[in-house]
Amino acid sequence: MRKYLLSVGVLLAFGTGAASAHITLETQEAAVGSTYKAVLRVPHGCDGKATTGVRVQIPEGVLSVKPMPKPGWTLQTKKGKYDKSYQLWGQAVSEGVKEVDWSGGNLPDEFYDEFVFRGTLAADLPAGQKLYFPVVQECEGVADRWIEIPAAGQDEDALEFPAPAINLLPKK
């Protein structure tokens, strides 16, 4: 019985922490063809060190991205060509923001913060699937790379550093 209680104690102390301690998106589903406000929730630093940068890769099919500035942080975007051309508000769109980078800030490990951007989900994204937003969390001399995307059939909970994701819903 003592061994069982010790195992449960270890599971509670360590087993649930990894699953709830990663960067996530506040709203985890959105309809294709809609505007999506992405709120990246940063619950901690890297191994006790303060977060000094958050960089998110914008997946193919997320268009017209506009990040929200944060006081005390430098905001930059990297633009590039999309893999294909999309229709957005009656116009052909073939390039846009591919990465958003907040840097130069200081978010101590014991505090929580959110990093926000909005974009439009292309109408031809596949409803019923997930869309992943890989994030690199820079800290004082180290980084956590929340970039793991599960292979087909792989359990997402088995990933150590899962990329934040949304479920794509049918167009409304």
Q: Is residue 98 part of a domain?
A: yes
Which segments of 17-164 are extended strands (E)?
A: 24-25, 29-31, 35-42, 51-57, 62-67, 74-88, 91-107, 113-121, 130-132, 135-139, 143-146
Its domain, for residue 89, covers 22-169
Which letter does DSSP use for residue 4 in this model? H
The domain total for the chain is 1
> In this predicted model, what pLDDT tens digit does every residue of 84-111 receive, in sequence order?
999 998 999 999 999 999 999 999 999 9
> What is the reported pLDDT for 21?
74
Domain of residue 47, CATH code: 2.60.40.2230
pTM here is 0.87
> Is-contact 79 98, C-beta < 8 A?
yes
The dihedrals phi and psi of 60, each to the nearest 5 degrees, come to: -55, 135
- The pLDDT of residue 34 is above 80: yes
With respect to residue 160, please indicate whether it lies within any of the assigned structural domains.
yes
pLDDT band at 13 (very low <50, low <70, confident <90, very high): very low
In a domain, 14, yes or no: no
% of the chain beyond a pLDDT of 70: 88
